[in-house]
Amino acid sequence: MKNFNTYSDIELLDMFSSPKPICDKAFQEIYKRYSPRLNSYCLFKIHNQIEAEEIFQQTWIKFYRSIENGKKLECVLPFLLSIARNLTIDFFRANRTRNNHIIDFTEPEMLEEIAEVAKISSIEANELGDLIRAAVNCLDDKYKEAFVLKRYEELSLIEISNLLNITLSTAKQRVSRATAMVRDILSPHIKDYIKIDH
């Protein structure tokens, strides 16, 4: 039996054309790797659990069909986020509602890491997580999305520029300005906790 978690994304994508159960197991491994981050992004884009879940599921369906139809990828996550972003745009056009992003997620592991680095208690880390969410939610949508893609989804600036259809320098500027704004908002509150780096 193959240990699918040892394969690279490209190797797994190549297995999508294999007979069952290999193709199913390859898809399950890709799903396991990226579903938490995709789900977080969908919740960021649409702050409604049911609607975000619908976008999440549609994204995976479109992703699978694209690979089945011969789409070649070097990176899986940017492609998934691109599908989710386009589906979200379609959703808001159809519903004629304003896309009011509210970030309501900070991974528990992230807070534990903050607590460990800053030498603070888990209660203080939770308070810090609340401060970070509040600070990010104060940003305009274009800066908020750039911040989330860089800091939460860990995309490169090139991937962000491609995903948002902006120049590389604009992507760099948005991430830099968003980071500076978050730092400015947080600085009076977290000087006793941790320094935010560029």
Are 40 and 71 in the same domain? Answer: yes
Q: How far apart are CA 56 and CA 139, in angstroms?
A: 24
- Predicted local confidence at residue 25, as pLDDT: 92
For residue 169, the domain's CATH number is 1.10.10.10
User: Does residue 183 sit in the same domain as residue 114?
Assistant: yes
Specify burial of residue 184 (Cβ count, 10 A radius: 0-12, 13-18, 19+). exposed
Split into its structural domains, the chain has a count of: 2
84 and 116 share one domain: no
pLDDT given for residue 96 in this prediction: 66
Are residues 91 and 116 located together in one domain of the fold?
A: no
Residue 126 shares a structural domain with residue 170: yes
* Same domain assignment for residues 145 and 70: no
Structure tokens at 68: 């089945």
Cβ(46)–Cβ(88) below 8 Å: yes
Calculate the CA dihedral of residues 144, 49, 106, 159 and round it to 10 degrees: -50
- Shared domain for 120 and 62, answered yes or no, is no
Q: Are residues 173 and 144 in the same domain?
A: yes
Amino acid 55: pLDDT: 94
Token reading at 98: 């304003």
What domain range is 185 assigned to? 108-190
Return the number of other C-beta atoms located less than 10 Å from residue 98's C-beta.
Answer: 7
Classify residue 1: in a domain, yes or no: no
What pLDDT shows up at residue 31? 95
User: What are the pLDDT tens digits along the chain (198 aa)?
Assistant: 578 889 899 999 988 888 889 999 999 999 999 998 898 888 888 878 899 899 999 999 999 999 888 888 888 999 999 999 999 888 888 876 544 444 444 444 444 444 454 444 555 556 666 677 777 878 888 898 898 888 878 889 998 998 888 999 999 999 999 888 888 877 776 555 444 444
Tally of CB atoms within 10 A around 49: 11
The pair phi, psi for residue 186, each rounded to 5°, is -85, -25
Please tell me whether the peptide bond between 108 and the residue prior to it is cis, using omega within 30 degrees of 0: no
